[in-house]
Each structure stands twice: as structure tokens, then as C-alpha cells.
Structure 1
């Protein structure tokens, strides 16, 4: 990545990070930010917005310090504040800054105030006067009011990442109070995946003569995401998720979104019946555990994360403009004429001599569908369809990033199937068809489509009795016990081992989050698939099928099983391939509409 007059230390860091070519948002925003312009930028999730604002603010800090003598007291000052709506995003931004500052860490200091560190300890961190502070608005306001953070005479730039979430997370009042502690003149950068009325209000509040960047990357990158939807009942959702994961229809890492915490534990316990390991990610878990889960997932330790997208209900609802398919902003770079400048309770561990369980509130600064940088995600599965079109966009944006292919698969429950089985019903399914219609409309405006994916249910009907047995074993009591056990375990790991992990980072590898959490008996016969239950499958392309195969092929749907050929045909086909013995029990490999994707984003070839 090359820009004029960029500090050599930053150039080396970018080279080390393999940032060789800027993305569209980086190419447009960085020169403008370096020129001191206020910017309101809209770009899709995963487009590189973090680097687009981090690079110019670090460059400006280095330039300001280089212009001052070593003995000058002005070198020590907090020059930039980065506001984010969630703690997860704060951790991600801090990590990127640490990587960017690898060759100038002594010259530019950062501080993340969005974690679980007590205020008193954070005040000691602020005594060192970090150059860049990353935090949520509520935490920044607390420090400004206590005067542990003073920026009235030093602040050069204010960044608000995921700006469309700041107001919807309830930070509007905090932000207005923050402005009273800031200088009259400073540079403002607002970054967002969507331009809404809330963002427009922020623009009126913060920006002076802003440059508005509304960037639609209509290159082949928009075709990297393949979207599918399946219309089915609630029971069939469990049947199909079992088929997809157990028979490895999708290769690589997968994020499975659900709409509430009980739901994520129900699905985890259900999959445990079949020895399918997964880990959960929700607002009840401590921040340290959530961050570690994402890290291990990115490293490939876990294949499946069941993520609770609780932010949907309050912060991700569609506005009236969005319901009509409209969005604020233009489709080009323009100068603005505006001159204005201005549930349920979970468990936690308490140490009072005895260990007690007490009510634990959810973390309101939790967010997983936005901001968190999941790496090399093969597929996103909307097990529960999101509650808004906006949320759908952010969920599927977790895959098909960084020029890699990805796919999304969404389960939609038609109205006639809603409430058929109240034991496994999710309340949000009542609006699935309504929200799906909005999503289709919004995708069509973006020249994208969601393809219907029709499973041939006859092919997997033999598994239904197993699914029903597994669902009967996952009772409300077992869900409650699992929830208690998991949160209790994570809190112990997070608090007791925190200091140890800081001194011994390699020991983090022994901490796993996909362990079995249900103490009840798991039936052994459920772990394996007998051969008589394997669906009939079509022969590989280019191979002539026998008459029986022709008769069966007319019944096949889109589930792409590769049929086991007779031994003589298999030897003929694979005489150059020594791995033909493995084909004997080789189940589903790919979706027939679109080949399955590997962890590096490339299509898998059929064997």
C-alpha cells in the first residue's frame, strides 16, 4: 500500500501485514483524511474501514511529534479518540493498531478502555497519556467527567466506527455530553456500513464541510458471496443442520446465527448428541472468553461457532426509509453543504467465602454480527432468520471477505409452519417471511439475488427419527443446566487464569470452548451414520450410470451426494488415484448449486 509522504515505519508495518494494494475505501479515504478533511464514509462490511482511519491518524501523530523537539512537553498528549459501539470491536481496533505500530510503538501509545478493567486501574493507564484512546462512548464519558482524561487542548481527531450503531445502542446522550469536553476544532471521521437517519444526525452534530463517500464496490468482489435460502419447518431446520454438519456439506469454518441465548444452547446440546463439536458466543460470557473464542476460531481450532445475535432486537431494526428500500447519501464523492459543527438472566460466580450463583446481566456492549473480524469464514448459516434486513447484511458480511469466496444459507419458516412444534419454536419465526421479503428487495437493489435451495427431503427422511430423539433429550431443564455450567466455567477461566495467561500466552492453547457441557447420557448409536441410512446419490459427472442409477436420478434433489459406484467402475475411474478406497464411506462433499468452499475460499474439486 503506497501513499505519498507516508512514514517509513508505517510502510514497513504495512508490508509486514501484507497490505500491498489498498481497498476502495482506503484508496479514497486515506488521502482525504491525511489532508485534514472531515469524512463520512459508507462501505460494506469487511472492506477495510479500520485501516482507512487508523493509518491517517497514526501518520498525523508521528508527523506532529517529529516536528517537535524531544524535550517538548507537547509531545505527550492524547491526540485521537476512537469511539466504537461494542467491546469486541474495541479489541479488534486495538489489535490492528498494535500491528500497525510495531516499528514505532515507543513513539505512539494506545489504550483500550472498553474492557472489563476497573475504572481505577484504567485511570493509572491514562496517567501515561496515551496518544490514541479506544473506547465505547459511556466509558470515555466517565473518564472525561472524572478528569482522568483531558483532551480539550490536545485532541486532533475523533473517529466513530460503525457510526450507525452509536445512537441505536443508546449512546446519543453520552455523545452529546462528550462534545462538551472536546476542543472547538478537530477532525471527525465517521465510518459506517449503512447511512441511516442516525448517521445523518451524527453528521449534523460533528462534521464541518464533510466529504461524503458512498462506495459501492461493484467489481467481482460483490460476486464472491453466494446466497441461498431454504423454506422449511422448525423441525426440518434441525434435520438439515444435522445433515449439513454431520455429512460435511460445507468444508471449512462456519458461523451459525441464532436469535437468543437459550436457542444457542439448545442447538449446541442438540449437536452434541451426534458428537458434533461447537462453541457458543453470546453476551453472557465474559469479554476475555469471547475474545479468546474468536481468536481460536480464526486460528482454525474450532470449525463451528453458534453466535447469538442479540443486537438485532434494539439496535438493528430497519428504519422507515430502509423499509421502503431507500438509504441516505449519494452514489459518488460529494461535498456536503452542511456547515454545522457541534431477557433473561444468566449466571455469574461470586466469591464471598462460598461460591454463589447470582443474577448476571447481559453485556449491553456485546456485538458479534458487526465489527468483529472473523477470518476465512467459509459459510454463514442463519439458523434463525434475522429480525431485520439490516442485520441480514451484517451477518452474511462475516464471509466472502478479503477477496475470498463465501456462501450464506438462511432458513426461513413459512407462516403455515409457524407454531407446529412449540417445544423448538423460536418466537421470531413469526416474521420470517416478512423480513425475507425486505431482504430480497434490498438485495435486488444491490444487484444481488438469494437463490432458493431445495433439499430433496426424501433423501434425508431416514434421519428424522434420530433428530426427534435428540430433540427430546434437549429439555428446558438441560438447557438451563448447560447455560449455568458454561457461564460458570468461562467466568472461572476468564478471571482466575487471566494473570497466568498474560505471563504464559502459549498456555491459552489448553483452554477450549467446544467441550461437552451437557452431563446427560449421549446415546452412542447417534454418533455414527449406518450405511443403510446414507442417501442415494448421483454418479460423478462424466461417468455413465447404470440403469438403476438412472431411475434414482430422477428423484434426486439438490443434495449433491456422490454415488458409490461398483468396484469395477470405481477402479476404472480412479486407476490414477490411489485414494479411491476412501470413497467407500465418503459422504456429501458439496452443494450442487455451488461447490463447497474450503477454508482458503477456493472451490473444492469433486473427487
Structure 2
């Protein structure tokens, strides 16, 4: 199937063609016609499957029909709720690109930056608003956001919203919207609380799912190195020197670990930037821009970035620390091999992480390829001999004769 086979406006197809998108992904093929039909939709699909275009293109398609007939100030017609600032920013960039040949106006609001510039843009009027939950509610309380004419509400990465404690905010936002609207809910996984949320805010939704085999990034090579924890940095440097080329994202479990590895790689002459929750929003934005623009070839991040950025042409993902949740592993490696392109994921596993490997392999339905030929293998402990507690030279308390001559009463 080609994008031209979908019922999309010619101006959207022109923008899509300029972005060199030719064939829609599976989730786009399934979702776009249903969303254009103005049905509520629940879509279960992993990251990296093209979800943003799956809801952006049909939303723009619906708004194009009325863009030239409206008079006066623009009002918010579509609202996309995103859990992270990075993802909100990325969604806004995608909408801008898709809206290139329309008169639709889009903007993004999120916390960590000044309110005033966001208020100024909102006062001028926008058609499409992308927002994180907290900042949206703040601006609504200050009278800067009017959702009375909203036509479409999108809740993106709903399971991540749940993990980050935003579900109550999402419910509050939904109550601010008109009852008569289209609601789209996207989630990589479907825990019970997400199912319960969907049942309260969606009307007779169409349920779509992209099969797990299609979301596990078939084109990603997945390698596993067993290595002592103390040698992980050494092995990482060795791989960067000898095995890895191009853009690399390295995932660490903690903010301290990110900073420590960044300093080490910089000392070894690598162009590195980093991303974690303790950095200011300006520094986080700069890190992503530097990585996108090749000012840095390596990005070290905590899982805040696993679903928060969409960067094309990431060649390798390194799991410096293995995640203890299988879905997180899939989100991480989904940074490479996007839109059907090939990619490589390398995982460094210390002894205390072996149990995580079993969980991941069971979830993805295949074994990771173990690479044993490297400079820092895990030494298998030699089996200890059980000590012989019987000393042949030690005399018994009683002699054999005394035992032999002992009289018994029976």
C-alpha cells in the first residue's frame, strides 16, 4: 500500500511525499481510515511503529475541510496529551511538517520553561495543541486555554501516563472537553487501569492492535555480552572503538550513571551529550538538537528518553544497564531500526542482571545472540570440592577391640 491509496487530502500527500514517506506502516494502514471515519479508537502498538503519523494525518485531514470556511480567531480543534516534554515537542514538529501546505496552526506547551511565550502564541489562536498534562491544566486555570470547540482528543502513550502518575490529570482534562468529540487512545501495553480509563472516556471504541511480531522490530539485530559489572565501561569503550559506527544511544538506569559514563567517554575523546530528568528543559532540548545535528554522535540517557524522542538514523542502541521490565527493553531498542530500517541493539549483562535476560527473551519470543569472543568474559566459578571431614589419621575414641568385646544386654 502507498499513502496515495489512503483517503487523504492532496495537500497532506504532498507534504508526506516531501518527507520521503512512501508506504504507510501497519499501524497507519489500520488506524487512518478508522480515524477519518470519526470513530473512537484504542490502539495498542509499541513505540517506533509510526503512531504519530497514524493520528496526525487523519486529524489534519478532518480540519482541512473547515480551515478556509472559518472566520475570525482560530480555536483549538484538536488536543494531543503527551506524557513527556520531549515527546510533546517531537509530535509538534511532526504536525508542523504535515501541515506545511495547509493554513492550520499548531503549537506545543509544556512545563520547565516560561509561561509567557506560550500564552502569547495561544492568544493568537491555534488549531492543534500538543501539551503535557500539568502545563495544560495550569494554563486552563489561568484562562489561557478554551477547549469548548474541541473535535478530537488524543491520549498518547497512555501506559506511560499511568507510570508517571498523570492518569488523574488526564481524567480532569477529559472533563474539560465537550462530550461530543472523537477520542483516540494510544498505548504500548494495556494494563487494567488503562482499560478502565478507556471504558469511561471512549464511546464504543474500535480496538486495533499491531501484532507483537510486527512491533518487536524484526530488522534489529540483538546481541548480548555477559561481562563483569566492573568491566562494563571497558567493554563499552572497546565496542565503540572496534565494532560500532554512526549514531549511538546508550541507556543507563540512573542519572548518576549517565553523568559518570558521559565524563568517561568525553575523556576518551568522544562527542557525547546526555539526557535525564535532573537537567533543565533548555539543556534537554539542546542535547536532542546536538544529537540530531551530529554535533554529538553519542547520546546517553535514562528511560525518560526511551519514548520521548524520535530520531531517524540511530544506528546502535546500547543497554549499558539492562532494564528489569521487558517492555522497557523493547521501547529502548525501538530507537533504532525505525520504519522498517535495519538497526543494532547491544546489551551488556552482569551476573546480577541474568534474570532480566530470561524475562526479556520470554517477552520477545526469541533468544538474544550471545557474543562470547570479547576481552572481558565472565569467568565461570570452579566448583568447590567438598572438604573431607573424616581424618584417616585421627584415632577413634574407642578401639576396634573395645567395640568387639563390648557386652550387650540383648
**TM-score of the superposition, structure 2-length normalised?**
0.86
Residues 228, 453 of structure 1: 8 Å contact kept: yes
Contact 1:82–1:161 (Cα < 8 Å) also in 2: yes
Distance in 2 (alpha carbons) for counterparts of 1:116 and 1:236: 37
CA contact (8 A) 1:258 1:264 kept: yes
Q: How does 1:186-265 map to 2 (within 5 A)?
A: 186-216=181-211, 218=213, 222-246=217-241, 248-265=242-259
Structure 1 residue 434, shift from structure 2 partner:
2.9
Instruction: Tell me the residue number matched to 1:158.
Output: 153
**Counterpart among 288, 305, 321 of residue 384 in structure 1:** 321
Gap change, CA 1:150 and 1:458, over 3 Å in 2: closer
Q: Which deviates further from its counterpart, 450-459 or 406-415?
A: 450-459
Residue 442 in 1 paired to residue 379 in 2? no
Q: Please name the residue that 1:300 is paired with.
A: 294
SS in 2 for 1:457: coil
Deviations 1:42-96 (A, max 9, x none): 1222111000101111111111234x3x5x45x7321110000000001101111
The whole-number CA distance in structure 2 between the counterparts of 1:456 and 1:254 is: 20
Q: Among 125, 133, 137, which residue is 1:137 paired with?
A: 133
Offset at 1:5?
4.8
1:368-383 alignment to 2 at 5 Å?
Answer: 368-383=305-320
Separation (CA, whole Å) in 2 of partners of 1:134 and 1:219: 28
Is 2:25 the partner of 1:23?
A: yes
2:92 is matched with 94
- Give the root-mean-square deviation of aligned CA atoms: 2.3
Structure 2 SS opposite 1:402: helix
Instruction: Give 4+ residue runs of structure 1 displaced > 6 Å after superposition.
Output: none
Alignment partner of 1:54 out of 49, 53, 56: 56
Find out whether 1:34 has 2:36 as its counterpart: yes
Name the CA shift for 1:64/1:217 in 2 (closer, same or farther; >3 Å).
Answer: farther
Q: For the residues of structure 2 that align with 1:146 and 1:230, how far apart are their CA atoms?
A: 53
TM score, norm. by length of structure 1: 0.59
Separation (CA, whole Å) in 2 of partners of 1:280 and 1:291: 10
Indicate the residue corresponding to 2:388 in structure 1: none
| Count of residue pairs the alignment pairs up | 377
Question: 8 Å contact 1:298–1:376 — kept in the other structure?
Answer: no
Q: Could you tell me which runs of 5 or more consecutive residues in structure 2 were left unpaired when the two chains were aligned.
A: 380-410
Corresponding residue of 1:353 = none
Instruction: Work out whether 1:406 is the aligned partner of 2:359.
Output: no
Where does residue 147 of structure 1 map in the other structure? Answer: 143
TM-superposed CA distance for 1:201, in Å, is: 2.4
Measure the CA separation in 1 of the matches of 2:208 and 2:253.
33
Deviation digits for residues 451-471 of structure 1, max 9, x if unmatched?
212134379x9xxxxxxxxxx
Q: Does 1:276 align with 2:249?
A: no
Match of 2:369 in 1: 451
Q: Contact (CA 8 Å) 2:156, 2:187: kept in 1 or not?
A: yes
Alpha-carbon separation, structure 1, partners of 2:65 and 2:298: 44
- How far 1:115 sits from its partner (Å)? 5.0
Q: Answer whether contact 1:229 1:412 (CA < 8 A) is retained.
A: yes
User: Conserved in 2, the CA contact under 8 Å of 1:296 and 1:302?
Assistant: yes
Larger Rg: 2
Counterpart-to-counterpart distance in 2, 1:406 and 1:4: 28
> Which residue does 1:180 correspond to in 2?
175
Give 2:396's aligned residue.
Answer: none
**C-alpha contact (below 8 Å) 1:164/1:196 kept by paired residues:** yes
